[in-house]
Chain A
Amino acid sequence: MSEKFDVIVVGAGPSGNAAAYTAAKAGLSVLQIERGEYPGSKNVQGAILYANALEQIIPDFREDAPLERHIIEQRMWVLDDESFVGTHFRSDDYNKPPYNRYTIIRAQFDKWFSSKVKEAGALVICETTVDSLIMDGDQVVGVRCDRQGGEVFADVVILADGVNSTLARKAGFHGEIQAGNVALAVKEILFMPQETIEARFNVKDEEGVVIEMFGKITDGLMGTGFLYTNKDSITLGVGCMLSDFKGNPNRTSPYTMLEKMKAHPSIAPMIAGGEMKEYCAHLIPEGGFHAVPKTFGNGWMIVGDSGGFVNAVHREGSNLAMTTGRLAAETAIAAKAAGKGFKAKQLAGYKAALDESFVMKDLHKYRDMPSVFHDNSQFFTTYPELVNRAARTMLTVDGIDKKTKEKEIFSSFRKSRSLAGLAGDAFKLWRAFR
């Protein structure tokens, strides 16, 4: 027996769930195939949920989705070895519902999202790996699984199989992933009583704080660290480009980097007493605009991490995943309604919708960002040190007049980076952020 569905979705992460939900809700017959033991068992994220992308799919998600805290304060820290310079943005605006973003625990959130997918009418099967796509000439017509009688067919296959996207690579839709295009991130969830979190971070009820960090915590590699407050735990993580880990002369392992970060004098007191509940590691596609492969073809579309849809600059991923998943499903729904088949021509609306959305617009805006930071490690070593030293010089009261201090700061910058270097770095940043 070989069944045929309207849509097969491979993978049950945010993009796959968004696609399966949207398609099933519209009345299409949907089969979702997940490799893990249950939906979410293989999924890793920071995790911040940006409300808007999910709102477009499930408008009343706030009613029953497991959300931790809504973010009312965003901190940006630039760290050297013993200090940090930072900005904090806190606004009571963020305390007015509907809230803009939340911290979530993915194990719980994914379980909820998957239950919505099933309610919408999609069939979800787990512990099943899709080995390859079934082709009829140049048309994708189904998938082949690792189970007996493992062939199943569909008009459209949506590839939501995650960062490695073995399926798309096997089918030749995109090349091998490059170490320079993926970050390796590790994180820990540390249990801490609710009261302790609220006292340490100056929040109450369901309010939360996010700290984004960069500087010397990444050992000179291109990367960032983060700390998120959950209801009764803290998520702490750090990530760097995989190619940098490989080429790093210090041979710092991701785990050591995280341990070092936890011991930083500015971070250690915030997490003191936390009991580790979870340790995860995951790859993040951070190649940006230039690394996005072909997104659709005859009978297939690619969504989420599999398509490299991550905005590394703003630490956004799951919202792009959900949006691409939704747009792919909407394209499939439209193609089904039009009744003219599911060739690339009928699925081209997906790319048009992507280009029209914030997804491709944002990726395009920061298209040169990854390479700027990647080729200029001073942004992660020299500058954080200089900025911290400048702050220390200026704020230490020791009988030296302020004019002399200013001079000292300026000369320390000039000594570390020539005037031309400083100007060049500023220009590079301006170009990349423009």
Chain B
Amino acid sequence: MHIVVCIKQVPDSAQIRVHPVTNTIMRQGVPAIVNPYDLFALEEALRLKDKFGGKVTMLCMGPPQAEDALKKCISFGADDAVLVTDRSFAGADTLATSYALAAAVRQISKEQKVDIVFTGKQTIDGDTAQVGPGIAKRLGLQLLTYVSRIADLDLENDTITVERRAEGGVQVLKTAVPCLITMLEGTNEMRFAPLENMIHAARYPVRKWNKEAAGIEDVTKIGLKGSPTVVSKVFGPTPRAEKALMQSVDDATPRDVALNVIQKIFTQHPTLERDILAKASV
């Protein structure tokens, strides 16, 4: 079985600062990490590999330094890694990105037929959740989004059964392989790589493909040219006026703590107590 996992290298959004004047993101010195959602996809792929054997190939589009993100995935146990990197990819939106990645998956499947493509549910920098579905559509793969569990994989009959988070419940879906799965967060826990893998990853020669190697013929569909998305305005969120208050309490029982906190809330919002009492009496 051959699994391709698509990842993105993103700035650690927990450490991002917004420039106070221009409202642009200050990336300088902000560490680049593997998009956290993608790691759930990788772990799920590794679990399938543990169970059924086969190979996990990592795929990423990005600048040359995104190699570090791919090496990290190698340390977790992925077998191979391809970085699609070319100046002409710069400025790509989700449409152009899914076009380039789909082309690269096609190239990878020429080396060995691909059974499942995994992506994270979305990235933490773009938050669109469009690239995974975009790849599936372009490659004509069955699309399974927001998957929380892979219930069954039947390689004899090429079928897969998954649980998918939906509004108000869980859907159980069965479809044909090959397919593309976008994995939901919190569904598994990434393994801790052994030392041997860390050293192997540090040495691993990540394969770098330019647009030709990735099999891209139509340059109008990649990079800025292939991106119809327009950023019309960038603005920072307005800071909220209300502030969280820290309240230290020494009370012995949870009941005392709760009463104390409620009392403090009522002191700050006198109308609240009146409203609640009024409702209670109705």
A residues whose Cβ falls under 8 Å from a Cβ of B: 1, 3, 31, 37-38, 41, 105, 107-108, 111, 123-125, 128, 145, 147-152, 191, 193, 275, 277
Please measure, in the bound complex, the distance between the C-alpha atom of A150 and the C-alpha atom of B193, giving whole angstroms: 10
The reply to whether the CB of B20 lies closer than 8 angstroms to some CB of chain A is: yes
Q: Which residues does chain A contribute within 8 Å of B199, judged by CB atoms? A: 3, 31, 123, 125, 152
Please measure, in the bound complex, the distance between the C-alpha atom of A149 and the C-alpha atom of B194, giving whole angstroms: 6
Contact yes or no, A108 B31, CB < 8 A: no
Q: Which residues does chain A contribute within 8 Å of B194, judged by CB atoms? A: 147-150
Given A124-B202, A145-B195, A152-B199, verify A105-B29 contact (CB < 8 Å): yes
Contact yes or no, A128 B20, CB < 8 A: no
Given A148-B194, A193-B21, verify A38-B31 contact (CB < 8 Å): yes
Q: Which 4 A-B residue pairs are closest in the complex by CB-CB distance? A: A148-B194, A107-B29, A123-B202, A147-B195
Q: Shortest Cβ distance from A35 into chain B, in angstroms?
A: 13
* Binary CB contact string for chain B from 69 to 96 against chain A (1 if under 8 A, 0 otherwise): 0000000000000000000000000000
Contact yes or no, A41 B31, CB < 8 A: yes
The reply to whether the CB of B232 lies closer than 8 angstroms to some CB of chain A is: no
**Which of the listed residues B17, B192, B196, B203 has the most CB atoms from chain A within 10 Å of its own CB?**
B196
| Least CB separation from B19: chain A residue | A191
| Least CB separation from B193: chain A residue | A147
Q: Which residues does chain A contribute within 8 Å of B198, judged by CB atoms? A: 125, 128, 147
Q: Which residues does chain A contribute within 8 Å of B17, judged by CB atoms? A: 191, 277
Task: Identify 15 residue pairs between A and B in the complex whose beta-carbon atoms are under 8 Å apart, listed by A's number.
Answer: A41-B31, A107-B29, A108-B28, A108-B29, A111-B29, A123-B199, A123-B202, A123-B203, A125-B198, A125-B199, A128-B195, A128-B198, A148-B195, A149-B196, A191-B17
> Number of B interface residues, CB 8 Å?
16
Contact yes or no, A275 B202, CB < 8 A: no
Q: Which residues does chain A contribute within 8 Å of B28, judged by CB atoms? A: 105, 108
* Binary CB contact string for chain B from 1 to 39 against chain A (1 if under 8 A, 0 otherwise): 000000000000000010011000000110100000000
Please measure, in the bound complex, the distance between the C-alpha atom of A304 and the C-alpha atom of B194, giving whole angstroms: 29
Contact yes or no, A149 B21, CB < 8 A: no
| Least CB separation from B31: chain A residue | A38
Q: Shortest Cβ distance from B143 into chain A, in angstroms?
A: 34
**Which of the listed residues B20, B31, B198, B202 has the most CB atoms from chain A within 10 Å of its own CB?**
B198
Contact yes or no, A152 B195, CB < 8 A: yes
**Which of the listed residues B29, B192, B195, B202 has the most CB atoms from chain A within 10 Å of its own CB?**
B195
Please measure, in the bound complex, the distance between the C-alpha atom of A225 and the C-alpha atom of B66, giving whole angstroms: 39
Q: Shortest Cβ distance from B270 into chain A, in angstroms?
A: 34
Q: Shortest Cβ distance from B67 into chain A, in angstroms?
A: 10
Known A1-B196, A3-B199; further 9 A-B contacts with Cβ < 8 A? A41-B31, A107-B29, A123-B202, A125-B202, A148-B192, A148-B194, A191-B17, A193-B21, A277-B17
Q: Which residues does chain A contribute within 8 Å of B203, judged by CB atoms? A: 123
| Least CB separation from A124: chain B residue | B202
**Which of the listed residues B20, B21, B29, B203 has the most CB atoms from chain A within 10 Å of its own CB?**
B29
Please measure, in the bound complex, the distance between the C-alpha atom of A152 and the C-alpha atom of B203, giving whole angstroms: 15
* Binary CB contact string for chain B from 155 to 195 against chain A (1 if under 8 A, 0 otherwise): 00000000000000000000000000000000000001111
Please measure, in the bound complex, the distance between the C-alpha atom of A403 and the C-alpha atom of B119, giving whole angstroms: 83
Q: Shortest Cβ distance from A47 into chain B, in angstroms?
A: 12
Q: Which residues does chain A contribute within 8 Å of B31, judged by CB atoms? A: 37-38, 41, 107
Please measure, in the bound complex, the distance between the C-alpha atom of A111 and the C-alpha atom of B193, giving whole angstroms: 23
Q: Which residues does chain B contribute within 8 Å of A193, judged by CB atoms? A: 21
Q: Shortest Cβ distance from A58 into chain B, in angstroms?
A: 19
Please measure, in the bound complex, the distance between the C-alpha atom of A277 and the C-alpha atom of B19, giving whole angstroms: 11
Q: Which residues does chain A contribute within 8 Å of B201, judged by CB atoms? A: 125
Q: Shortest Cβ distance from A109 into chain B, in angstroms?
A: 9
Q: Which residues does chain A contribute within 8 Å of B196, judged by CB atoms? A: 1, 149
Please measure, in the bound complex, the distance between the C-alpha atom of A68 and the C-alpha atom of B229, giving whole angstroms: 35
* Binary CB contact string for chain B from 229 to 240 against chain A (1 if under 8 A, 0 otherwise): 000000000000
Please measure, in the bound complex, the distance between the C-alpha atom of A189 and the C-alpha atom of B22, giving whole angstroms: 19
| Least CB separation from A36: chain B residue | B31
Q: Shortest Cβ distance from A111 into chain B, in angstroms?
A: 8
Q: Which residues does chain B contribute within 8 Å of A128, judged by CB atoms? A: 195, 198
| Least CB separation from A115: chain B residue | B65
Please measure, in the bound complex, the distance between the C-alpha atom of A152 and the C-alpha atom of B199, giving whole angstroms: 10
Q: Shortest Cβ distance from B64 into chain A, in angstroms?
A: 11
Q: Which residues does chain A contribute within 8 Å of B202, judged by CB atoms? A: 123-125
| Least CB separation from B68: chain A residue | A38
| Least CB separation from B75: chain A residue | A125
Q: Shortest Cβ distance from B100 into chain A, in angstroms?
A: 26
Please measure, in the bound complex, the distance between the C-alpha atom of A103 and the C-alpha atom of B113, giving whole angstroms: 53
Q: Shortest Cβ distance from A118 into chain B, in angstroms?
A: 8
